Structure 1
Amino acid sequence: MKQEIKERMERIRKGEVPEGYRKTKVGIIPDDWAVKKLAEVSDIKTGPFGSALHQKDYVQEGTPIITVEHLGEQGVVHDNLPMVSDFDRNRLKSYVLKRGDIVFSRVGSVDRNSLIRETEDGWLFSGRLLRIRVTTANILPNYLSYHFHQEITKQRIRSVAVGQTMASLNTQILKDLHVSFPPIRGEQNAITTILSDADAIIRQLEKLIEEKKEFKRGLMQKLLTGDTRFPEFTDEWDEVKIGDLIVEFSDFTAKNNQHEILSVTKDGICLQSYHFKKQIASSDNIGYKIINKGELVFSTMNLWMGSLDILKYPNIGLVSPAYKTFKINYDKVDGAFFEELIKSSKMLWFYKINSEQGASIVRRNLDLQGLLSTKIQIPKINEQMKIGQFIQEINLELNNLRQYLENLKEQKRGLMQLLLTGIVRVEVD
């Protein structure tokens, strides 16, 4: 980065106004950039009220309706879209979307929004969304979409939302929102081209990661069941009880706040303060269970959904006494192999058949003794180690790709900060 740009960034960060810039309602921007209320450059409309659209109106085939869960950072997500008939589409024709529209979440995560592209032209938007349609030639919809995705704009939107229990937006709030943009459409177009090129690279890498994950899932299914084996191993697999591989234990705390409190989710063990953005456990955690690195923990109510893991970080922590904690018999199982095995589809099936549905559909009560008595087949330790080593190599490759993806996303955020505030100008003919 040029020294001139670094100095400009530092001055703006301090609240100083460099030559050729001015202070506005949206921050410090170039002198020639425009600042307008959203109402001056667009039409804003709320989705249909509940009385106009009911779940019973949905059909198997028809016109898709975009809801909050379909708002992605890089566009509309096309999974699990509700649909309505041609009759209802015509009845709701004032809520039909056009290419270049921007749809916002009206409640909850009010900074979520997506640009409508060619593939979504003609779709409908739900009552939980607001639609923005650019009405002037002075600003490009693509540019405005990126403007809404920069963090400083998201913060401003969150700050003006109303509601104590759940944030919400309305048309007036959005109408009063100020936006800034270069006066020359060519500069707007150049900025969006740079950012869309970055998005394309990110999408390609995300696709590669998903393909690698799918490859791993398929291969693990074969390796963990013996359908595929390394050629040097021909021995019969051993039949063992799950209870021969893990032994329940309970090591309770004797004083308060001995260690950090952990939560167990289907994505693994994590710090409770990170998962919930705060510690939700009681301030008095005497009697919580202590778990060490390499030990297994799971919830008896959510085990069938995959809520279990072996602690890798931190080296020691606390879990609620409602969790079950186990020592692993590492004389009989390789750590990497076992970690993959306990999360395999076959084991999830065993967890499910050993659980009975409780008060809710999600929560099931585990028959722990039934599970521990369940017999499974596993290879001898040398073959486990070979499989475990292979798994670690695949995981290392996936982790490297994920880290590269995060680096690319961080670089894009940096680009947005520079380009969408005018700290760096794009030269156009």
Structure 2
Amino acid sequence: MTWEQRKLGSIADRVTEKNTSLAESESFTNSAEFGIISQREFFDHDITNKENIGNYYIVRPDDFVYNPRISVTAPVGPINRNKLGRNGVMSPLYTVFRPHDVSNTYLEYFFKTSRWYAFMQFNGDSGARSDRFSIGTDLFYEMPIPVPSFNEQDKIGRFFANLSDLITLHQREIKVQKRIKLWRII
């Protein structure tokens, strides 16, 4: 079956729901290395407080977040999925979107590739701050996404999720082996 080229805006809705009622109190951040994580875990404390999160976006489970912060591992900024299983809030400096008509797992692993970098680099820039990438919101949602049938999306997503789990398992095993060797030396 052929793959379609779809615009991000045709498979995802921009999240603009603000935390005006202060119903959510946990602030999230989007790290290139760790994905979406609680600020308490990432920074060892909250950067925000109840008084300054009313303008923040509410992020729900499986929402995706684009962080314009440039790093070595994310040259145009990372896009990650909220896999924490709970709501939180995200600074309005981030772009939050909610996919539909596409596998979340497939989309998650697409954004772990560099396939979308060329679009971003052609249409945006690092602007005045060299640590931030800048692209207009409307243009961001024009990003082309290759979309196979839902059945293929599911298979691709499960393949990469299983591969990721296997890599994690082997990394843990290596750490255990190193600890065992260290204890033998001591």
Task: Give the TM-score taking structure 2 as reference length.
Answer: 0.83
Is contact 1:246-1:328 (8 Å) kept?
A: yes
Task: State the percentage of identical aligned residues.
Answer: 22
Q: 1:412 to 1:262 in 2, by over 3 A?
A: farther
Residue of structure 2 aligned with 1:269, choices 36, 39, 44? 36
Residue of structure 2 aligned with 1:404, choices 158, 173, 186? 173
Q: 1:374 to 1:260 in 2, by over 3 A?
A: closer
Matched residue SS, 2:134: strand
Q: 1:258 to 1:362 in 2, by over 3 A?
A: closer
The Cα shift of 1:377 comes to 2.8
1:297 matched to 2:68 = no
Matched residue SS, 1:385: helix
Q: 1:328 to 1:256 in 2, by over 3 A?
A: same
Q: What do residues 277-301 of structure 1 show as CA deviations (whole Å, max 9, x unaligned)?
A: 2222245223322111111111245
The Cα shift of 1:409 comes to 5.0
Q: Measure the CA separation in 2 of the matches of 1:376 and 1:256.
A: 34
Residue in structure 2 matched with residue 352 of structure 1 by the alignment: 121
Q: 1:360 to 1:316 in 2, by over 3 A?
A: same
Matched residue SS, 2:25: coil
1:309 matched to 2:76 = no
1:242 matched to 2:8 = yes
The Cα shift of 1:375 comes to 3.1
Structure 1 portions without partners, runs of 5+: 1-234, 420-429
Code of the residue aligned with 1:313 in structure 2: it is L
The Cα shift of 1:341 comes to 0.7
Q: Measure the CA separation in 1 of the matches of 2:98 and 2:109.
A: 17
Please show how residues 80-99 of structure 1 align to structure 2 within 5 Å. none
Q: Measure the CA separation in 1 of the matches of 2:21 and 2:124.
A: 34
Is contact 1:304-1:355 (8 Å) kept?
A: no
Q: Measure the CA separation in 2 of the matches of 1:410 and 1:281.
A: 38
The Cα shift of 1:257 comes to 7.3
RMSD of equivalent CA atoms: 2.5
Between structures 1 and 2, the one with greater helix share: 1
Is contact 2:76-2:133 (8 Å) kept?
A: no
Identify which of structures 1 and 2 has the higher relative contact order when contacts are C-alpha pairs closer than 8 Å and 6+ apart.
Answer: 2
Q: 1:359 to 1:379 in 2, by over 3 A?
A: same
Code of the residue aligned with 2:150 in structure 1: it is I
Q: Measure the CA separation in 1 of the matches of 2:162 and 2:120.
A: 28
Residue in structure 2 matched with residue 326 of structure 1 by the alignment: 97
The Cα shift of 1:258 comes to 2.7
Matched residue SS, 1:362: coil
The Cα shift of 1:338 comes to 0.9
Q: 1:263 to 1:250 in 2, by over 3 A?
A: same
1:341 matched to 2:110 = yes
Q: Measure the CA separation in 1 of the matches of 2:56 and 2:177.
A: 40
The Cα shift of 1:412 comes to 5.9
Q: 1:400 to 1:354 in 2, by over 3 A?
A: same
Residue in structure 2 matched with residue 288 of structure 1 by the alignment: 56
Is contact 1:259-1:316 (8 Å) kept?
A: no
Residue in structure 1 matched with residue 158 of structure 2 by the alignment: 389
Task: Give the TM-score taking structure 1 as reference length.
Answer: 0.39
Give the paired residue count.
Answer: 181
Is contact 1:242-1:372 (8 Å) kept?
A: yes
Q: 1:321 to 1:277 in 2, by over 3 A?
A: same
Is contact 2:15-2:57 (8 Å) kept?
A: no
Matched residue SS, 2:30: strand
Residue in structure 2 matched with residue 252 of structure 1 by the alignment: 18
Code of the residue aligned with 1:379 in structure 2: it is P
Q: Measure the CA separation in 2 of the matches of 1:377 and 1:263.
A: 27
Residue in structure 2 matched with residue 4 of structure 1 by the alignment: none
